[in-house]
Amino acid sequence: MAVVKFYSAFKEIFKNDVMELNDVENLNDLLSKLAELNPKFQHYLGRDDFVVLVNGASIPRKEFNNVKLRKDDVIELFPPVSGG
């Protein structure tokens, strides 16, 4: 079971700051499952400006399919930052 931590706008979208997900093989699976749970999240999947950490390590988007998730992994999702 992967633990997903949400920050900022993602916390608002999912109405929670932590969620546990089963049956996710890699980051792409996890993100797709989140989009199924809340279609508002789908908007971010095509963007390159949100940050994904797995166990504290930043993962580049091109590696999402290659990062295999284990049951004790902690995934942190940060939405794009804006402002000035």
User: Model confidence over 22-68: pLDDT tens digits?
Assistant: 889 999 999 999 999 999 999 888 787 889 999 999 999 899 999 99
pLDDT band at 82 (very low <50, low <70, confident <90, very high): low
What CATH code is carried by the domain that includes residue 58? Answer: 3.10.20.30
Number of domains in the chain: 1
Q: How far is CA 48 from each of CA 16, 71, 78, rounded to the nearest angstrom?
A: 23, 26, 12
Q: What is the model's pLDDT at position 44?
A: 87
Q: How far is CA 3 from each of CA 6, 71, 82, rounded to the nearest angstrom?
A: 10, 8, 26
Is residue 45 assigned to a domain? yes
Is residue 70 assigned to a domain? yes
Is residue 84 assigned to a domain? no
pTM: 0.90
Q: What is the model's pLDDT at position 5?
A: 98
Domain residues for the domain of 58 are 2-78
